[in-house]
Amino acid sequence: MAAAPGVTERYFTRWYKTDVGQPREDYCILQHSNRICVITLAESHPVLQKGKTIKNINYQVTAHCSRLQNKVSGKSKRGAQFLTALAPLCRISCSDGEEYTIHSCIRGRLMEVNENLLNNPAILQEKPSTEGYIAVVLPKFEESKIVTQGLLTREEYEGILLHRLNSSS
């Protein structure tokens, strides 16, 4: 008997964005039917590869901008930071000295960042699509239908991964 689908598979549509910022830095955007989008790392992202250990995650993206200072309130989501598709969400430092800037991938209001990653960065690698998410973004209502333009379906993403594998061997 097949296992019952989890919450992520049941209620979210998976979209992918490849080569964001740097080659092979891929993201997964989980889009709920209510427009909300959960930003996560795709399985092929270098941070999720074997042998990588996350040293820390920093939501201070510039000298004057910390995603931790994002305070949202009310029905109209007052106080939410507005993000462009290339807006940095956080920086991930690995024990091998590599550093990765994680981008939003979509335009919208930052609803929350995953503060649990600050105390336990390993959950990003253990459960990237659930408890290890990076941030939650709410696209503008009028842009909610076009937010997926430029994103890939699961099948398209797997085709790119297969192409990468064939071209590297």
DSSP 50-68: TT--EEEEE-EEETTEEGG
Tokens, residue 6: 């989890």
CA–CA gap between residue 108 and residue 118 (Å, rounded): 23
93 falls in which pLDDT band (50, 70, 90)?
very high
Q: Cα Rg for the chain, rounded, in angstroms?
A: 16
CA 8 to chain centre: 14
Query: What would the pLDDT profile of 21-33 be if each residue is shown by its tens digit?
Result: 788 899 999 999 8
- What domains can be seen in the chain, in order of their start residue? 15-68+76-140+150-168 (2.40.50.100)
Q: Which residue has the higher pLDDT, 122 or 10?
A: 122
Say how many C-beta atoms besides its own lie within 10 A of residue 18's C-beta.
19
CA–CA gap between residue 27 and residue 1 (Å, rounded): 31
Q: Which residue has the higher pLDDT, 2 or 46?
A: 46
Q: Which residue has the higher pLDDT, 160 or 142?
A: 160
Query: What would the pLDDT profile of 36-60 be if each residue is shown by its tens digit?
Result: 999 999 999 999 987 789 999 999 9
CA–CA gap between residue 108 and residue 70 (Å, rounded): 13
Which H or E run includes 137?
strand 135-138
Selection from 46-55, 84-93, 137-146 with the highest mean pLDDT: 84-93
160 falls in which pLDDT band (50, 70, 90)?
very high
